[in-house]
Amino acid sequence: MATMTDDGTGSGHRSISLERLAHARFRATNARGGTLDFGTGEDTDFTPVELLLVAIAGCSAIDVDFITGKRAEPAEFSVTATGEKVRDADGNHLDDIRVTFSLSFPSGEAGDQARDVLPKAIQMSHDRLCTVSRTVQRGTPVTMLI
């Protein structure tokens, strides 16, 4: 596995490695030593499709949290990501991916500022900040190697 010299947030090379744990169950490991188990959904582990939704929602949630959090600490912050898995002439893929934010901020000037910037923060994440959703939207090629 390639090593990273930064904390995973800056520009540069990224890599993960997968290790088979059992039939159709794997453990992903990042360059910092973090691990995540996943599989087919026959148990409580996430599936790869669910992890894609987590990555899209999580990336944007972090962007929005950085922007709004400079103004006020949220009283509530939740994000839901949904998509329709389809099989058609283009093969298996997700359609109609939606990310829904539900945030509230405390009363007062700081909360007002956070509420005011929220729509712009979500739009900025969608249009240029979130590497994950931007990669999906751009349709970046994926190369499989042996």
DSSP 21-85: EETTEEEEEETTS-EEEE-SSSSSSBPHHHHHHHHHHHHHHHHHHHHHHTT---SEEEEEEEEEE
Residue 145 lies in a domain: no
Q: Please tell me the predicted confidence (pLDDT) of residue 11.
A: 84
Residue 36 lies in a domain: yes
pTM recorded for the entire structure: 0.90
Do residues 25 and 42 share a domain? Answer: yes
The Cα–Cα gap between 32 and 40 comes to 25
- Contact call for residues 120 and 129 (beta carbons, < 8 A): no
Q: Please tell me the predicted confidence (pLDDT) of residue 10.
A: 82
Q: Please tell me the predicted confidence (pLDDT) of residue 3.
A: 43
Do residues 39 and 99 share a domain? Answer: no
Do residues 97 and 35 share a domain? Answer: no
Residue 7 lies in a domain: no
Do residues 31 and 73 share a domain? Answer: no
Residue 24 lies in a domain: yes
Query: What does residue 65 show for φ and ψ, rounded to 5 degrees?
Result: -65, -40
Do residues 36 and 97 share a domain? Answer: no
The Cα–Cα gap between 78 and 138 comes to 26
What residues contact residue 143 under an 8 Å CB cut-off, 6+ apart? none
Do residues 22 and 60 share a domain? Answer: no
Token pair, residue 83, equals 């998509």
**Which residues of the chain carry a pLDDT beneath 50?**
1-5
Nearest to 130 by CA among 36, 65, 38: 65
Residue 4 lies in a domain: no
Do residues 74 and 27 share a domain? Answer: no
Residue 144 lies in a domain: no
101 is in which domain, residue-wise? 47-138
Residue 146 lies in a domain: no
Do residues 41 and 100 share a domain? Answer: no
Count of the separate structural domains present in the chain: 2
Q: Please tell me the predicted confidence (pLDDT) of residue 2.
A: 42
Residue 8 lies in a domain: no
Q: Please tell me the predicted confidence (pLDDT) of residue 7.
A: 66
Do residues 56 and 35 share a domain? Answer: no
The CATH number that applies at residue 111 is 3.30.300.20
The Cα–Cα gap between 64 and 122 comes to 6
